Amino acid sequence: MSEAIDMDALLRLALVPVEPSEGLSDRLERGLSELTDAAAGELADWELGAMRDPRNWGRPAAAMVVGGAAAGALVLVRARQRHRRRPERGVAALGKGLTEAANDLGRRLGR
């Protein structure tokens, strides 16, 4: 029985969550922002007249998928950072992160 308790304690020690460094979080946010900007730029340069030919759908579709995923991840990263600074409820932090990301994207697109 003492071996099971020791193994249990060892597993608890080994599986303790580790907080990422602040630098990693900043690099991740910067990378996600760059991906979002690149996707927005690709969509801004795309012409609506090209929609008639299905062969031209690949790049805009990929830009929408990559940009949407990067923007969603950026919202989560910012909500996590906000939560670390001052604890808020999950939905409130996520809502504020989504609002900030939308405002940031609108500002980058010049709207």
Q: Which tens digits make up the pLDDT trace of 15-66?
A: 887 777 778 878 888 898 898 888 888 888 777 777 788 888 888 888 889 9
- Quick check: 111 pLDDT over 60? no
Residue 15 covered by a domain: no
Instruction: Report the domain count for the chain.
Output: 1
pTM of the model: 0.57
Residue 11 covered by a domain: no
Residue 45 covered by a domain: yes
Q: Which amino acid is at 91?
A: V
Instruction: Return the number of other C-beta atoms located less than 10 Å from residue 74's C-beta.
Output: 23
Is the distance from CB of 78 to CB of 29 less than 8 angstroms? yes
Q: Which amino acid is at 99?
A: T
Q: Which domain holds residue 32?
A: 21-108
Residue 66 covered by a domain: yes
Residue 40 covered by a domain: yes
